[in-house]
A and B are shown apart, each in its own frame.
Chain A
Amino acid sequence: KQEVTQIPAALSVPEGENLVLNCSFTDSAIYNLQWFRQDPGKGLTSLLLIQSSQREQTSGRLNASLDKSSGRSTLYIAASQPGDSATYLCAVLTGANNLFFGTGTRLTVIP
Chain B
Amino acid sequence: DAGVTQSPTHLIKTRGQQVTLRCSPKSGHDTVSWYQQALGQGPQFIFQYYEEEERQRGNFPDRFSGHQFPNYSSELNVNALLLGDSALYLCASSYDKAYEQYFGPGTRLTVT
Contact = CB atoms under 8 A, between A and B. Distances in A.
Contacts of B73: none
Most buried by A among B56, B101, B104: B101
Interface string B36-57: 0000111111001000000110
- Interface residue tally of chain B, by bracket? 20 to 34
- What interface size band does chain A fall in? 20 to 34
A99 B108 contact: no
B42 A102 contact: yes
A35 interface: no
A98 B33 contact: yes
Contacts of B106: 42-43
Interface of B is mostly: strand
Contacts of A46: 100, 102-103
Interface string B9-39: 0000000000000000000000101010000
Interface of B: 31, 33, 35, 40-45, 48, 55-56, 58, 88, 90, 92, 94, 96, 99-106, 108
5 contacts: A32-B99, A34-B100, A98-B48, A99-B92, A102-B42
Given A97-B48, A99-B43, 20 more contacts: A36-B103, A41-B88, A42-B106, A43-B88, A43-B90, A43-B106, A45-B103, A46-B100, A93-B101, A97-B33, A97-B56, A97-B99, A98-B33, A99-B35, A101-B42, A101-B43, A102-B42, A103-B40, A103-B42, A104-B42
